[in-house]
Structure 1
């Protein structure tokens, strides 16, 4: 009886008594009986607004069956019951916990995620054996200082709360290995975090961090650091000295440059998508000997250095939606074809010397094309003319040379609200296949675009202020490529169904809440890029009918669940789902690539 005696000393109400403060009606007696044997109790999803007293007092009060029948067998003697070590009360409606929490001092796991808690009781300090505490998806604004008394804690999950600060003494949790603070309101990370010397995984994503303390490099065992979706403009150079770091996530920040990584010899994944990085140099790559995944999508890169070919372990390289304009002059080295890549993304770059149909065929076709060009002696004279015309600013207001030589009507990066008539007048009798009006302040599509309806195949209207698509665009009979990223669009007109040659559409960084219905009816579509919107659902049955669709980018949207039927879209070669709030498939499945994702989904289709 010594075990009960210790608890009774803390609670004078305890002892051999039959009366209980509640009837325990909300918890089946069978569950309580099983918990006394196993030491584990799962009350998840029971619509509880408070924790029944019979749960807190499970190791204190005489069980119900003892009051009914005192002739227990040897295996059912209640006084030899197991202390409760694991309590799961997640997915309920709890708004608070009482200090009766102290009556379960043997707990090693306490899971109360997905409730409505605004605070934790100070009595939590008495759970000295606690190793895992999950309070994610609640409404916590502060953490009690008493939490720093949990010296045996190894996993602490605080994501999706409203925390603005970390309590003093947090560094005393020296056994902590896994800490998740994502989706809170943190503006700073205390320098004293460096004392968390056992930490292996740290998630700081989706906060309001503008910088990281240099002291963070003191975490000598840290393998996984996630700082996605913050306001970081730079990262401390000391970060590059973290020898144990394997996964580094810096997506959706404001980074303009990168440090070198001389000591990160174990780094396997580096995620830098959706920043403002303009230059990637040899010094950024030369030490990444173990890198498997390099994500540079949605930046401002104009070229990739030859040293990229030193990354012999590289399996996934994402360069989509940058400003890589050509394969000439090493903007993208042909020697890239020598790498054993499983995934290479180049969509959304203004490249002209590699045909779009090659890119749309997938990674292996692109690598094959690059290898075929390695033996070329160099750019021909005509290629040199093309590169000059594309990259050198024209002295005249309208680039007539581009019109005549490249068949491009280019009036981009002028920050204008209207396209002057002289731009269209300059076309005269010339054949135009491409229009580039990107990086302006256009609120509507120029009506005179209809004059080119019988010849234009490529239209770039990205980085403008378009909130609707006019019918003139829907009349471009030969349109095959349409770039509308970085606008204010939330819908597409039904008339776009008439674009019967459209193969690629880029709708990234707009305001779509659903995948526009009209896209399902454009059977020629091969690539749909709609990342960084607010898309909450897709229709797998309609997607399955789109037999030509090979690339679907749904990254960074609001998908709460992925319908298993999406696994039937077997024509998809590239399906990107990262950055959505769904819980399955998990990141480990996503990293295996499209084929693995589709197989995973198919296995979960209800029979």
Structure 2
């Protein structure tokens, strides 16, 4: 299959068959070379060549059979109308150079798209309503330059929309949604607003999405500017008087939370809770109320101890608590499969059953795990699965404490005795005797005697010590006259 460019053969295009349908995808990498490098000569005529009739004949398909196109990371500036495929349902144009919505979305032919990914482009506006607005179920607009949500979204034109990702755009406020009554009618179940400049007054907006099952209002560690981070002062208000009976996944990472929001316990159907990279120092006993919780991430906090109530979470499968200050465990859930306690202060393996776990990481604790091949296998498996292969290995080394670092009464006596036998001249210390000192250069006044410094019980002030008041005559109007 010839696409019309040098060193670019049909083998570099992935064609997946779905019965009589096809998915055409250009891979992100080929032999270690990025797509942008491969497609430097892949201009628009060459892209159109992908849909030539003779090429489609070789694939034994036609435009009507193509249901998915993945042109992510292709350096595209537009996608013309010639690429319109009437039965297309999945279109991925992420990581390109689009500044406007692709023209093909307004051709009148692509009205069946259900999934549209335009993330990581340079879009500044997308107010014009695409042909697929009524069929659209998932849209990703994250990492663009948008300042407002699309007008067709606000007007509730996308009645079937289920998932919206509007993270990391340029919106500085969401006051334009304050009086919107359409939000309560939307069926959105998944909402992602990372680094979206949300504040406490936006809680009312979030609560309007009553069908939410997935909510991500976290920040990321690589946010380009503090001007766009989500900044909440009273996070517990978000969980008061809401209608999130279906909430299953909640991400509150990097929000500078200093306490565990107790009203989270109202979300009885919660499956995943991500509170990593905050300032939480303890977990409340109400944690046991999250009986359906399966994943709990509390890593990178300031935890000193895990509540014993965690043993009542019978459905918990994954517990991530790395980078804390845990010294001991009071218990663990009975059916735990994955345990991450990397970089804590544990001194023993109490309540940790390595045999019952599928993956685990206990490095950088005060625990020596020598010749434990099963642990090493499960540790490596966890690190490979969670992309943390760069973690250190081995136990923490206690910092040596000198004999005089911690003081006791015995230490104080020995130090005092040792100091008394020390040559004071060697320490450049000169003994002083204040009783023998003579006052020098003291000015003597004839009317002042040593008895003046003694109190004889008489509270009367001597006349010669009184301060004379300046005399001012009455009716001195000149005092109140403005100076020239």
1:186 Cα deviation after fit: 3.1
For 2:136, the equivalent position in structure 1 comes to 176
Instruction: Give the number of the structure with larger relative contact order, counting CA–CA contacts within 8 Å between residues 6 or more apart.
Output: 2
- For the 8 Å contact 2:255–2:278, the answer to whether it is kept is yes
For 1:119, the equivalent position in structure 2 comes to 78
For 1:541, the equivalent position in structure 2 comes to none
Q: 1:571 to 1:108 in 2, by over 3 A?
A: closer
For 1:198, the equivalent position in structure 2 comes to 160
For 1:396, the equivalent position in structure 2 comes to none
1:181 Cα deviation after fit: 1.9
TM, length-normalised to structure 1: 0.44
Residues of 1 paired with 2:317 and 2:246: CA distance?
20
- For the 8 Å contact 1:136–1:159, the answer to whether it is kept is yes
SS at match of 1:570: helix
Residues of 2 paired with 1:346 and 1:282: CA distance?
19
Does 2:105 correspond to 1:131? no
1:335 Cα deviation after fit: 3.0
Residues of 2 paired with 1:524 and 1:55: CA distance?
50
- For the 8 Å contact 2:25–2:69, the answer to whether it is kept is no
Give matches, 1:4-403, under 5 Å: 44=27, 47-48=38-39, 49-50=41-42, 56=48, 63=54, 82-85=61-64, 107-121=66-80, 123=81, 127-144=85-102, 147-148=105-106, 149=108, 150-170=110-130, 173-190=133-150, 192-194=152-154, 195=156, 196-212=158-174, 213=177, 215=180, 217-218=183-184, 220-234=186-200, 235-252=202-219, 253-256=230-233, 257-258=235-236, 259-260=238-239, 262-286=242-266, 288-301=267-280, 303-323=282-302, 333-340=307-314, 341-349=316-324, 356-358=327-329, 363-364=332-333
Residues of 2 paired with 1:221 and 1:304: CA distance?
33
1:364 Cα deviation after fit: 4.6
TM, length-normalised to structure 2: 0.54
1:155 Cα deviation after fit: 1.0
Residues of 1 paired with 2:25 and 2:313: CA distance?
49
1:135 Cα deviation after fit: 0.9
Give the gaps of 5 or more residues in structure 1: 1-19, 65-77, 87-106, 368-479, 483-500, 504-522, 528-545, 551-566, 583-607
1:42 Cα deviation after fit: 5.7
1:138 Cα deviation after fit: 1.1
SS at match of 1:236: helix
Residues of 1 paired with 2:61 and 2:382: CA distance?
51
SS at match of 1:356: coil
For 1:525, the equivalent position in structure 2 comes to 364
1:348 Cα deviation after fit: 4.6
Give matches, 1:582-597, under 5 Å: none
Q: 1:335 to 1:81 in 2, by over 3 A?
A: closer
- For the 8 Å contact 1:174–1:198, the answer to whether it is kept is yes
Per-residue displacement from partner, 1:521-574 (whole Å, max 9, x unpaired)? xx97349xxxxxxxxxxxxxxxxxx96799xxxxxxxxxxxxxxxx97423696
SS at match of 1:313: coil
Please identify the structure whose Cα radius of gyration is greater. 2
SS at match of 2:273: strand
Residues of 2 paired with 1:339 and 1:319: CA distance?
15
1:58 Cα deviation after fit: 7.8
Residues of 2 paired with 1:21 and 1:314: CA distance?
50
For 1:386, the equivalent position in structure 2 comes to none
Give the gaps of 5 or more residues in structure 2: 220-229, 337-342, 349-361, 389-484
Per-residue displacement from partner, 1:403-438 (whole Å, max 9, x unpaired)? xxxxxxxxxxxxxxxxxxxxxxxxxxxxxxxxxxxx
Which residue of 567, 570, 579 corresponds with 2:378? Answer: 570
SS at match of 1:298: coil
- For the 8 Å contact 1:39–1:83, the answer to whether it is kept is no
SS at match of 1:307: helix
Aligned residues: 332
1:139 Cα deviation after fit: 1.7
